[in-house]
Amino acid sequence: MTMKALGSALSPMEETIEAIILDAPLFNGGRGMVYAPVSGGISNENWRVKNTDGPGDWFVKVPGNGTELFINRAAAIDASKKAAAAGLGPKVHDDLGDRGVEINDFLPGHRASNHGDFADLETCKTTVRAYRILHGLPELVLTKTIFDMIDEHVDQVRDLGAPMYKDSDWILLNTAIARDAMTASGFDLVPSFNDPMPGNFMIGPDGSIMLIDYEYASMNDRCYDFGIWFGEMFFSRERELALIEEYFGEVRQETVSRVIVHKALADVKWCLWSMVQLKVSRLAFDFHKYGMWKKMRARSIMEHPDWPTHLRRL
């Protein structure tokens, strides 16, 4: 990773991080500070800042353009601090928190996971234990179920004039049916991560796991965390059942169905999110391709003959 000195900015994003380094008291007016981008995120502009004159190594998250539409930064910092207090996430610094900028201690001894790491059952079980800690955190300040997320994005797509996939009416009808079924059965609200991209699981040298990036965290249904995680990692049905048993102590059909329904709903949310990002983001990422893939997978679950059965079991 090549670090740059202050005053060498060549792009608007580099100009933004240099201004933040100068403004944050933690960075001592920029003296001795160097910076470099951290790749992997598709919401924000992420940076590493180091002090060449002494100790200090930080991860700086600069809110991505337009992300205030769907990210509550105060709630994200609240969740990050509660996770850090439980030993689940890195230390959070308050500098510029009022501007939505989040500064954490960098984790040089950890590495971001990848999909291949989750082929290992023990890594998955360690992650389940991390989720158990997360779900036991003090109540978060933000309650936002998957249906709240979907409603928010539907309104944003319309307001922004963002593209809408051709079969949106059919998918949103099935989403409404799932909402009725889930509401009738009741929500099991717990502090939820809601964003299990592989890069958000940091693996330590001892195999332990810390979670980073709590910007989508909220009080949400417990099974949503498993639905979105299982979908993100492309687990086999056998692996999914093993992890459900690891967390819940048994495999109940209603739990399996609840996870599967949430898997489909997660893909609906992220498809809509991608359409919003097409209009507002300045990141170099193919949001249209990402969103269409999410949409097709949601449809594959909703079109399956077992979909009505899963809804009845909720």
Residue that is written with structure tokens 């500070």 in the block? 33
User: What is the C-alpha to C-alpha distance for residues 145 and 58, in angstroms, rounded to an integer?
Assistant: 31
Cα separations in angstroms, 225 against 78, 128, 145, 230, 303 = 19, 10, 11, 9, 22
Determine the average pLDDT of the residues in 4-14: 91
CB 164 within 8 A of CB 157: yes
On average, the pLDDT of the chain sits at 94
Show me where the domains of the chain are located.
Answer: 4-105, 112-313
AA letter at 223: C
Query: Which CATH number does the domain 4-105 belong to among 1.10.287.1120, 1.10.3720.10, 3.40.50.2000, 3.30.200.20?
Result: 3.30.200.20
Mean pLDDT throughout 286-309? 96
Q: What is the pLDDT of residues 66-82, one digit of tens each?
A: 888 888 989 999 999 99
Dihedral angle at the C-alpha atoms of 112, 118, 189, 69, nearest 10 degrees? 40
Please determine, for residue 2, whether its predicted confidence score (pLDDT) is greater than 80: yes
- What is d(CA 284, CA 281) in angstroms, rounded to the nearest whole number? 8
For residue 278, what pLDDT is reported? 92
pTM for this structure? 0.91
Kindly indicate the confidence band of residue 45, based on its pLDDT and cuts at 50, 70 and 90: confident
pLDDT at 161 (0 to 100): 94
- Asked whether the beta carbons of 90 and 65 are under 8 A apart, the reply is no
Contacts of 268 (CB under 8 A, 6+ apart): 150, 171, 172, 175, 294, 295, 298
Does residue 85 carry a pLDDT above 80?
yes
Q: What is the pLDDT of residue 238?
A: 97
Q: Which CATH entry fits the domain spanning 112-313: 3.40.1410.10, 3.30.1490.20, 3.90.1200.10, 3.40.50.2300?
A: 3.90.1200.10
